[in-house]
Chains A and B, each alone.
Chain A
C-alpha cells in the first residue's frame, strides 16, 4: 500500500552542495505534505511542511517545491552540511491519515 513513492534511496553529496529528494503521491485528497528527518536511534522529527495552496516553501536552507498537477513534491537542501547526514522521509496526509515514503539516506561528505 505504498501511496507515497520516494527517490532516491540514497544520496551522497559534497559539503556545500545541493541535496534534492523527490516524492510522488497518488491520492489527490492528500492536503498536507511534511518532510521528516531521522537520525539513527531516534524517531523522525518534522523538518518542513507544505499545503497544496502554495508551490514553494522555504525555511532557512530547506525548500519544498510542490507541483500539484504532477502530484509531486521535492525537498531541496542548500549548502548541505555533514550534520545534515540523516534519513529523510516525505509524507502525505489527509486528516489523520498520514503515509510515509520509504526514505532517503543522505550522506554529506566533508
Chain B
C-alpha cells in the first residue's frame, strides 16, 4: 500500500500477557517513529529509528517496552507483562528525512491496545 500500515488494528489482551504491534512504513522512508496516544491526549513519543538502529529510545516508559527494526523497514513494538495502564492507541509514523530536519510525518491508523 501507499501509506503506513499497522497491524493489528485492535488488540485485546489480559494483564501480564506479551504483545507485539507491527508497523510497515512507506517504502523508502528511512525514519520510523512510535508514538502512544491515550484518550484525549496528543501523541507521546516512544522511540525513533533511523535505518535499523534506534537513534532515540528516550520515550520508552520502562524496560517492558522494546522495539526492533531489523532490516530497516518493518518495525515491531513489543510489550512484556502488559499492564492496564498500557491501554492506548499506538501510532507508527515514517518520514523521508532531508538535510537532518524533521520532515512530514506520515502516520498509520494506529493499533488500539486494550489490557483487561
Instruction: Judge if B43 is at the interface, Cβ distance under 8 Å.
Output: yes
Does A59 sit within 8 A of B, measured CB to CB?
Answer: no
Q: Is A107 an interface residue (CB 8 A)?
A: no
Contact between A98 and B105, CB atoms less than 8 A apart = yes
* B102 to A, closest residue via Cβ: A93
A-B pairs under 8 A by CB, number: 62
Chain B interface bracket (under 10, 10 to 19, 20 to 34, 35 or more):
20 to 34
Nearest-neighbor residue (CB-CB) of A34 within chain B: B104
Chain B residues within 8 Å of A101, by CB: 42
Interface size (A, Cβ < 8 Å)?
A: 26
Report the nearest B residue to A44, measured CB to CB.
Answer: B107
- Cβ-based interface call for A15 (8 A): no
| A91 neighbours in B (Cβ, 8 Å) | 42
* Bound Cα distance A4, B55 (Å): 22
Complex contact A96–B41 (CB within 8 A) = no
Enumerate chain A interface residues (CB-CB to B < 8 A): 4, 6, 31-32, 34, 36, 41-46, 49, 89, 91, 93-103
